[in-house]
Structure 1
Amino acid sequence: MPSLRNALGKPALLSLALAVVLIAPDAVAQKKRAARAPAVTPECSDFYSATNADWLKAHPAIASGASVSVLGELRERTLQQQRDLLDAAMRAPQGNVQKLLGDFWASGLDEAAVEADGANPIAPLLGRINAIKRAKDVAPAIAALHQVGIPVVFNFSPDVDLQHLDRHIGYFMQGGLGLSDPAYYTSADAEARDLLGRYRGYVKQILALTGTAQDKLDAESQLVIDLETRLAQVSKPLADLRSPFANYAPVATKDLGKQYRNLQLDAFLKAQGVSDDTVSMADPALFKQADSLIAGLKPEQWKAYLRWRVGDAMAPYLARPFRDAEFEFRGRVLRGQTAPAPRWQQVLDAINLAAGPMLGREYAARFVPEEHKRRAEQIAQQTRDALGRGIERNAWMSATAKAEAKAKLEKLKIEVSTPRRDLDYSVQPMGRGSFGGNMLIASTWRHREEMKRIGKGNADRRWDVLPQQPALAYDIAQNRLIVTAAVLQNEVFDARQPAAVQYGSFGALVGHELSRGFDNKGRMVDAKGELRDWWTGEDMRAWETLGARVAAQYDAYAYPELGPVKVNGKLTQDQNMADLSGVELAWEAFATADPQAAATGRQDFYKAWARLWAQRLSKTDAAQRVSTDSHAPGQWRANGPLVNLPAFAEAFSCKPGQPMQLKETDQVKLWR
Structure 2
Amino acid sequence: MKSTRWGLLAAAMLMVTACKNKSDQQRTVFFDKSGMDTTVNPADNFFMYVNGKWIKNTKIPPSETGWGGMYTMTVDNKKQLHDILEEVSKQNNDKGSKEQKVGDLYLSGMDTAAMDKLGYEPAKPLLVKISGVKNYKDLVNISADTFNDGDGFLFGFYVSPDDRNSKMNVAHFDQTGLGMPDRDYYFNTDSATVKIRAAYTAYIAKLFALTGTDAATANKKAADILKLETDIAQSHLAPVELRDPVKNYHKFSIADFKKLMPDIDVKNLFHRMHINADTILVGQPKYYVALNNLLKSQPIDVWKDKVTFMALDGAAAALSKDFRDAHFAFYNKALEGQKVAQPRWREMVSTIDNGLGELLGQIYVAKYFPPDAKTRMAEMVANLKAVYKSRIEKLVWMSAPTKTKALEKLAAFTVKIGYPDKWKKYDDVEISKDAYYQNMKSIAKHNYNEQLKKLGKPVDKSEWFMTPSTVDAYNNPTNNEIVFPAGILQFPFFDKDADDAINYGAIGVVIGHEMTHGFDDQGRQYDKDGNLKDWWTADDAAKFKQRVQVLINQYDGYTVLNGIHVKGALTQGENLADNGGMAIAYEAFKRTEQGKGDTKIDGFTPDQRFFLSLAQLWRMKISDEATRLNINTNPHSPAMYRTNGPMSNMPSFYKAFNIKPGDKMYRPDSLRVKVW
User: Which amino acid counterpart does residue 77 of structure 1 have in structure 2?
Assistant: D
Q: CA offsets, 1:167-211, max 9 Å, x none?
A: 44323344345566679889999999998887676556544655x
Q: Is the 1:181–1:237 contact (alpha carbons within 8 Å) kept by the matching residues of 2?
A: no
Partner Cα distance (2:512, 2:436) in 1? 43
Matched, 1:86 2:92: no
The residue that corresponds to 1:511 in the other structure is: 512
Q: Is the 2:413–2:482 contact (alpha carbons within 8 Å) kept by the matching residues of 1?
A: yes
Partner Cα distance (2:645, 2:229) in 1? 50
Please give the residue correspondences for 1:245-644 in structure 2 after superposition, counting only pairs within 5 Å: 248-253=249-254, 264-281=265-282, 282-283=285-286, 284-289=288-293, 292=296, 306-328=307-329, 330-331=331-332, 337-419=338-420, 422-458=423-459, 460=461, 462-540=463-541, 542-543=543-544, 575=574, 577-592=576-591, 594=593, 598-600=597-599, 603-604=605-606, 607-614=609-616, 615=619, 617=621, 630-631=636-637, 633-634=639-640, 637=643, 640-641=646-647, 644=650
Please give the residue correspondences for 1:32-181 in structure 2 after superposition, counting only pairs within 5 Å: 52=50, 57=53, 60-62=56-58, 68-92=67-91, 96-126=97-127, 128-129=129-130, 138-176=139-177, 178=179
Greater helix share, 1 or 2? 1
Partner Cα distance (1:187, 1:278) in 2? 37
Q: Is the 1:198–1:329 contact (alpha carbons within 8 Å) kept by the matching residues of 2?
A: yes
Q: Is the 2:166–2:531 contact (alpha carbons within 8 Å) kept by the matching residues of 1?
A: yes
Are residues 626 and 418 of structure 1, via their aligned partners in 2, closer, same or farther at CA, if it must alter by over 3 Å? closer
**180-189 or 425-434: which moved more?**
180-189
Q: Is the 2:45–2:644 contact (alpha carbons within 8 Å) kept by the matching residues of 1?
A: no
**404-413 or 475-484: which moved more?**
475-484
Q: Is the 2:494–2:507 contact (alpha carbons within 8 Å) kept by the matching residues of 1?
A: yes
User: Which amino acid counterpart does residue 82 of structure 1 have in structure 2?
Assistant: L
Q: CA offsets, 1:226-260, max 9 Å, x none?
A: 68856764664434573355654322247878997
**403-412 or 62-71: which moved more?**
62-71
Q: Is the 2:93–2:99 contact (alpha carbons within 8 Å) kept by the matching residues of 1?
A: yes
Partner Cα distance (1:513, 1:236) in 2? 34
Q: CA offsets, 1:150-182, max 9 Å, x none?
A: 232333223443433444432334434556667
Partner Cα distance (1:69, 1:259) in 2? 48
Q: Is the 2:260–2:289 contact (alpha carbons within 8 Å) kept by the matching residues of 1?
A: no
User: Which amino acid counterpart does residue 433 of structure 1 have in structure 2?
Assistant: D
Q: Is the 2:40–2:48 contact (alpha carbons within 8 Å) kept by the matching residues of 1?
A: no
Q: Following TM superposition, by how much is the alpha carbon of 1:318 offset from its aligned partner in structure 2, in angstroms?
A: 0.7
Structure 1 stretches lacking a partner, 5+ long = 9-41
Q: Following TM superposition, by how much is the alpha carbon of 1:514 offset from its aligned partner in structure 2, in angstroms?
A: 0.8
Partner Cα distance (1:643, 1:258) in 2? 50
Q: Is the 1:204–1:218 contact (alpha carbons within 8 Å) kept by the matching residues of 2?
A: no
Q: Is the 1:157–1:171 contact (alpha carbons within 8 Å) kept by the matching residues of 2?
A: yes
SS of 1:280's equivalent in the other structure is strand
Q: Is the 1:118–1:318 contact (alpha carbons within 8 Å) kept by the matching residues of 2?
A: yes
Partner Cα distance (2:296, 2:671) in 1? 63
Partner Cα distance (1:663, 1:185) in 2? 38
Partner Cα distance (2:669, 2:302) in 1? 71
Q: Is the 1:488–1:494 contact (alpha carbons within 8 Å) kept by the matching residues of 2?
A: yes
Q: Following TM superposition, by how much is the alpha carbon of 1:108 offset from its aligned partner in structure 2, in angstroms?
A: 1.5
Are residues 344 and 231 of structure 1, via their aligned partners in 2, closer, same or farther at CA, if it must alter by over 3 Å? same
User: Which amino acid counterpart does residue 472 of structure 2 have in structure 1?
Assistant: A
The residue that corresponds to 1:19 in the other structure is: none
| Corresponding pairs, count | 625
Q: Following TM superposition, by how much is the alpha carbon of 1:267 offset from its aligned partner in structure 2, in angstroms?
A: 4.6
Partner Cα distance (1:257, 1:377) in 2? 49
Q: Following TM superposition, by how much is the alpha carbon of 1:593 offset from its aligned partner in structure 2, in angstroms?
A: 6.0
Q: Is the 2:408–2:528 contact (alpha carbons within 8 Å) kept by the matching residues of 1?
A: yes
Partner Cα distance (2:194, 2:442) in 1? 37
Partner Cα distance (1:320, 1:382) in 2? 52
SS of 2:173's equivalent in the other structure is strand
Partner Cα distance (1:184, 1:667) in 2? 34
Identical aligned residues as a percent: 23
> What is the RMSD computed on CA atoms of the aligned residues?
5.1
User: Which amino acid counterpart does residue 79 of structure 2 have in structure 1?
Assistant: Q
**104-113 or 266-275: which moved more?**
266-275
SS of 1:469's equivalent in the other structure is coil
SS of 2:580's equivalent in the other structure is helix
Q: Is the 2:160–2:170 contact (alpha carbons within 8 Å) kept by the matching residues of 1?
A: yes
Matched, 1:238 2:236: yes
Structure showing greater radius of gyration is 1
Q: CA offsets, 1:397-438, max 9 Å, x none?
A: 211111111111122211222355643311332112122222
Q: Is the 1:391–1:671 contact (alpha carbons within 8 Å) kept by the matching residues of 2?
A: no
**338-347 or 589-598: which moved more?**
589-598
The residue that corresponds to 1:23 in the other structure is: none
Q: Is the 1:469–1:484 contact (alpha carbons within 8 Å) kept by the matching residues of 2?
A: yes
**429-438 or 274-283: which moved more?**
274-283
Partner Cα distance (2:465, 2:263) in 1? 33
**406-415 or 130-139: which moved more?**
130-139
SS of 2:615's equivalent in the other structure is coil
Are residues 418 and 140 of structure 1, via their aligned partners in 2, closer, same or farther at CA, if it must alter by over 3 Å? farther
Q: Is the 1:47–1:660 contact (alpha carbons within 8 Å) kept by the matching residues of 2?
A: no
**511-520 or 325-334: which moved more?**
325-334
Structure 2 stretches lacking a partner, 5+ long = 1-34
Are residues 646 and 140 of structure 1, via their aligned partners in 2, closer, same or farther at CA, if it must alter by over 3 Å? closer
Partner Cα distance (1:100, 1:117) in 2? 22
Q: Is the 2:428–2:446 contact (alpha carbons within 8 Å) kept by the matching residues of 1?
A: yes
Partner Cα distance (1:475, 1:547) in 2? 21
Q: Following TM superposition, by how much is the alpha carbon of 1:351 offset from its aligned partner in structure 2, in angstroms?
A: 3.4
Q: Is the 1:501–1:604 contact (alpha carbons within 8 Å) kept by the matching residues of 2?
A: no
Q: Following TM superposition, by how much is the alpha carbon of 1:362 offset from its aligned partner in structure 2, in angstroms?
A: 4.1
Q: CA offsets, 1:635-664, max 9 Å, x none?
A: 872695387355994xx6969879799899
Partner Cα distance (1:288, 1:550) in 2? 40
Q: Is the 2:85–2:106 contact (alpha carbons within 8 Å) kept by the matching residues of 1?
A: yes
Q: CA offsets, 1:438-474, max 9 Å, x none?
A: 2212222222223444334227474554443322322
